């Protein structure tokens, strides 16, 4: 039976096995999907052993997306743009890297939550790997302006430089988070949190005007989606977490591996209730 796995550190609370097992049942696919905790520095050995054992595919989460990018023998377009891989498809010794994060993000934003990017102003908080994965699909929606805000301005500038000129699109800017003041910036239609703020116990310290009247999207989900809770408490028009993105990017991975895209709404609603009951 074909074997698949999600790899990360930490990984204990991953919902991916549940999601993919439900996808398999829905589409009548015979497969096994597991999760693996890999120590830092141990991903290359894990991948080698997984390939040698006949494994067919991996989902990659923090902190191994760059390792997966470097070790892939081929890379699909969005993975090259993001310089990060969250999905590996294995065919013999051929290990193909994909990045389904951005497609999952835009699909959730558009089809589930009804937010249209066309002509909208967008603020992305953070300039790390999570941000890299969503910028290209986001720009494809033709927003009027995209601003990347990061504590370290140089990192935001490097990411802006990577994307300036793509699609003939140059309305992308980089700023330091400390410059986000109500006097200095206009209202944003969409504010996306791609940082790991929800993983720490620190309180969120952002200007309240960012949330007020905006569609706020936290790429974390469940108890980690502290930005979503903060935004809701500070006047967001809509505030959602990244559970839908998780489900949609998983469906993209499943399609790569099995050639069929499962329906996502039923599992999304079930997980939403499950997570709510656990909080």
Active site residues: 65
DSSP string, 76-102: -HHHHHHT--SEEEEETTEEEEE--HH
Contact assessment for residue 111 and residue 105, using Cβ atoms and an 8 Å cutoff: no
Contact assessment for residue 100 and residue 252, using Cβ atoms and an 8 Å cutoff: yes
Angle, to 10 degrees, between the axis of helix 243-258 and the axis of helix 265-278? Answer: 140
CA gap 279, 241 in Å, rounded: 14
**CA dist 32 to 1, 58, 154, Å?**
7, 12, 43
**CA dist 274 to 59, 230, 234, 255, 277, Å?**
22, 22, 26, 25, 5
Provide the token pair at 133.
């994965």
DSSP character at residue 236: -
DSSP string, 116-138: --TT-EEEEE--SHHHHHHHHHH
As a dihedral over the C-alpha atoms of residue 28, residue 250, residue 17, residue 226, rounded to 10 degrees, the angle is: -150
Which H or E run includes 69? helix 65-71
Q: Is 248 exposed, middle or buried (0-12, 13-18, 19+ CB in 10 A)?
A: buried
């Amino acid at each position: 039976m074909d074997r698949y796995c999600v790899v990360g550190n930490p990984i204990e609370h991953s919902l991916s096995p549940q999601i993919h097992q439900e996808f398999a049942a829905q589409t009548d696919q015979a497969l096994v999907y597991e999760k693996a905790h890999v120590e830092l520095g141990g991903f290359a050995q894990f991948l080698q052993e997984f390939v040698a054992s006949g494994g067919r595919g991996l989902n990659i989460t923090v902190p191994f997306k760059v390792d997966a990018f470097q070790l892939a023998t081929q890379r699909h377009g969005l993975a090259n743009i993001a310089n990060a891989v969250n999905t590996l498809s294995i065919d013999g010794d051929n290990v193909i890297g994909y990045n389904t994060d951005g497609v999952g993000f835009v699909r959730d934003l558009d089809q589930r939550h009804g937010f249209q990017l066309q002509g909208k102003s967008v603020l992305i908080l953070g300039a790390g790997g999570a941000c890299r994965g969503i910028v290209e699909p986001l720009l494809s929606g033709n927003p009027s302006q995209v601003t990347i805000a990061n504590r370290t301005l140089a990192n935001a500038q490097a990411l802006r430089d990577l994307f300036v000129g793509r699609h003939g699109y140059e309305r992308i800017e980089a700023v330091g988070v400390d410059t986000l003041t109500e006097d200095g910036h206009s209202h944003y239609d969409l504010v996306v949190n791609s940082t790991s703020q929800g993983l720490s116990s620190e309180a969120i310290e952002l200007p309240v005007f960012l949330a007020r009247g905006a569609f706020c999207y936290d790429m974390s989900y469940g108890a980690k989606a502290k930005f979503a809770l903060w935004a809701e408490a500070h006047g967001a028009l809509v505030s959602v977490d990244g559970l839908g993105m998780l489900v949609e990017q998983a469906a993209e991975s499943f399609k790569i591996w099995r050639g069929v895209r499962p329906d996502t709404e039923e599992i999304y609603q079930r997980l939403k209730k499950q997570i709510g009951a656990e909080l």
